[in-house]
């Protein structure tokens, strides 16, 4: 067994891991290495819808999302490889209870400086011509929300991380994490044990199995989420916003200019899903649910057919908040996890990456205090 040493090791090359590596490598002089079992962005990140939403219910998530929007905007200015389409998010409330919740959230969001507009049902077709507004009580619209293509931004961040001097290894699975009596943390890669002052595990739903030899359990349920893309229709335009039906817990957005990408929760979702053998394709039951949803929520698209689809995994926590921060195992303070984002990891990742990089350097949270996301909060 050979040994290597780094200042920081990241496990997982999805958007959260690569964003953290990017900030560490471009903002510090630390020796950074990232190990990804697949290709960069090849698992959950690459199977996400790419939505970037700032309309969250908690102050911390709003602040993280607002900073992430700023960072995605800078990425798009820096390179043509990253496209950030800011067509907005439209959240639809069908009940008085949902409307009250939207208004409460919008008040908090506006206090934080977010541009959120309340729209009357009769104005909604000005934003989405084919939307059926009959049963809508109210809608909230944020024009700076949008969509980023997951593969391209993740690959670009990986390239920038390498250019800054970090080691990025793809198709290099980490099989375990260890701590020893001196407080040193290491990862097992093949026959090698590689140590670091800090190890950040950002392996999504695959994170917990790395701790099989340690007294550490992460309350994250892997849940299968399906996405389909329809065929083309002249009524759909690339400038249409991202639309979420809060009651149905389903959404659609334009894809490829004149198609719709549709996803959301469905009773047949696998929770928890088998992370090794889950079905990576969409199924008939979900396709039928999508067709029913589109007939209910849109008008003039009755002949729209599903062209393709896929499925991915998201990590779901008991309280709907992610697990981000240090975990103390055998008094080791160098082990950090960043997982369980409940399907929101892509939209929060740039700010999470900065916050984690500053935590590593300072030994404490700075302006973005992620203590509410502490992985140990359920043990208190």
Q: Say which residue the tokens 């639309």 belong to.
A: 243
pLDDT at res. 179: 82
For residues 55 and 152, what is the distance between their CA atoms, to the nearest angstrom? 24
Q: Looking at the predicted structure, is the pLDDT value of residue 3 above 70? A: no
Say if residues 142 and 115 touch (Cβ distance below 8 Å): yes
pLDDT at res. 46: 96
Q: Looking at the predicted structure, is the pLDDT value of residue 335 above 60? A: yes
Helix (H, G, I), strand (E, B) or coil at 67: helix
If one counts every other C-beta atom within 10 angstroms of the C-beta of residue 239, the result is 11
Query: Parallel, antiparallel, or unpaired for β 32-35 and 3-11?
Result: parallel
- Mean pLDDT computed over 198-225: 91
pLDDT at res. 341: 98
Sign of the Cα torsion 287, 288, 294, 300 reads positive
Q: What is the pLDDT of residues 229-254, one digit of tens each?
A: 999 999 999 999 999 999 999 999 99
- Going by CATH, does the domain composed of 89-143+221-316 fall within 3.30.9.10? yes
- Mean pLDDT computed over 73-99: 98
Helix (H, G, I), strand (E, B) or coil at 292: helix
Q: Looking at the predicted structure, is the pLDDT value of residue 276 above 90? A: no
Lowest mean pLDDT among 109-123, 204-218, 288-302: 204-218
Write phi, then psi, for 82 (nearest 5 degrees): -110, 125
For residues 196 and 203, what is the distance between their CA atoms, to the nearest angstrom? 17
pLDDT at res. 212: 76
For residues 334 and 244, what is the distance between their CA atoms, to the nearest angstrom? 39
Alpha carbon 51 to its chain centroid, in Å, reads 9
Q: How far is CA 99 from CA 60, 139, 247, 342, in A?
A: 22, 8, 11, 23
- Mean pLDDT computed over 1-10: 83
Domain at 3-46+151-220+319-379, CATH homologous superfamily: FAD/NAD(P)-binding domain (3.50.50.60)
Q: Say which residue the tokens 């964003």 belong to.
A: 19
217 contacts: CB under 8 Å, gap ≥ 6? 208, 211
- Mean pLDDT computed over 301-314: 96
Q: pLDDT confidence of 328, banded at 50, 70, 90?
A: confident
Calculate the CA dihedral of residues 40, 43, 48, 52 and round it to 10 degrees. Answer: -40
Query: Parallel, antiparallel, or unpaired for β 242-245 and 89-93?
Result: parallel
Q: pLDDT confidence of 270, banded at 50, 70, 90?
A: low
Q: Looking at the predicted structure, is the pLDDT value of residue 216 above 90? A: no
* Percent above pLDDT 70 for the chain: 96
* Percent above pLDDT 90 for the chain: 88
For residues 12 and 350, what is the distance between their CA atoms, to the nearest angstrom? 15
Q: Looking at the predicted structure, is the pLDDT value of residue 124 above 70? A: yes
Sign of the Cα torsion 263, 267, 273, 277 reads negative
Residue ranges of the chain that CATH labels 3.50.50.60: 3-46+151-220+319-379
- Mean pLDDT computed over 143-162: 98
Q: For the chain, what's the residue count?
A: 380
Q: pLDDT confidence of 332, banded at 50, 70, 90?
A: low
pLDDT at res. 180: 74
Q: How far is CA 131 from CA 20, 50, 85, 92, 242, in A?
A: 39, 21, 20, 11, 12
Residue ranges of the chain that CATH labels 3.30.9.10: 89-143+221-316
180 contacts: CB under 8 Å, gap ≥ 6? 186
Nearest in space to 110 (alpha carbons), one of 157, 54, 166, 29: 54
Q: What is the pLDDT of residues 157-195, one digit of tens each?
A: 999 999 999 999 999 999 999 887 677 899 999 999 999
For residues 112 and 118, what is the distance between their CA atoms, to the nearest angstrom? 16
Calculate the CA dihedral of residues 321, 324, 326, 327 and round it to 10 degrees. Answer: 50
Tokens of 257: 């200019």
Cα angle 12, 148, 104; round to 5: 95
């Amino acid at each position: 067994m050979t040994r290597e040493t780094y200042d920081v090791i990241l496990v997982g090359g999805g958007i959260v891991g690569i964003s953290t590596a990017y900030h560490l490598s471009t903002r510090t002089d630390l020796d950074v290495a990232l190990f990804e079992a697949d290709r960069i962005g090849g698992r959950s990140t690459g199977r996400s819808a790419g939505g970037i939403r700032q309309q969250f219910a908690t102050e911390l998530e709003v602040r993280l999302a607002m900073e992430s929007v700023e960072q995605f905007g800078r990425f798009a200015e820096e390179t043509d490889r990253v496209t950030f389409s800011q067509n907005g998010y439209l959240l639809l409330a069908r009940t008085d209870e949902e409307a009250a919740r939207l208004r409460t959230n919008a008040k908090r969001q506006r206090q934080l400086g977010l541009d959120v507009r309340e729209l009357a049902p009769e104005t909604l077709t000005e934003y989405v011509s084919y939307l059926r507004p009959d049963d809508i009580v109210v809608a909230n619209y944020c024009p700076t929300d949008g969509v980023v293509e997951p593969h391209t931004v993740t690959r670009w961040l990986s390239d920038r991380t390498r250019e800054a001097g970090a080691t990025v290894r793809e198709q290099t699975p980490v099989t375990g994490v260890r701590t020893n009596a001196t407080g040193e943390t290491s990862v097992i890669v093949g026959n090698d044990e590689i140590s670091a002052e800090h190890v950040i595990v950002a392996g999504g739903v695959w994170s917990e199995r790395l701790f099989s030899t340690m007294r550490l359990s992460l309350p994250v349920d892997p849940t299968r989420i399906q996405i389909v893309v329809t065929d083309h229709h002249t009524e759909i335009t690339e400038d249409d916003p991202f639309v979420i039906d809060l009651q149905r817990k389903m959404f659609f957005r334009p894809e490829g200019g004149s198609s719709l990408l549709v996803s959301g929760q469905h009773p047949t979702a696998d929770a928890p899903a088998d992370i090794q053998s889950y079905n990576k394709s969409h199924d008939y039951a979900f396709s039928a649910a999508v067709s029913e949803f589109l007939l209910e929520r849109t008008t003039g698209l009755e002949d729209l057919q599903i062209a393709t689809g896929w499925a991915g995994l998201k990590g779901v926590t008991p309280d709907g908040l992610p697990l981000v921060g240090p975990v103390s195992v055998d008094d080791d303070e160098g082990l950090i996890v960043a997982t369980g984002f409940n399907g929101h990891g892509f939209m929060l990742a740039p700010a999470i990456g900065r916050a984690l990089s500053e935590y590593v350097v300072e030994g404490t949270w700075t302006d973005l205090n992620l203590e509410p996301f502490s992985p140990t909060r359920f043990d208190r």
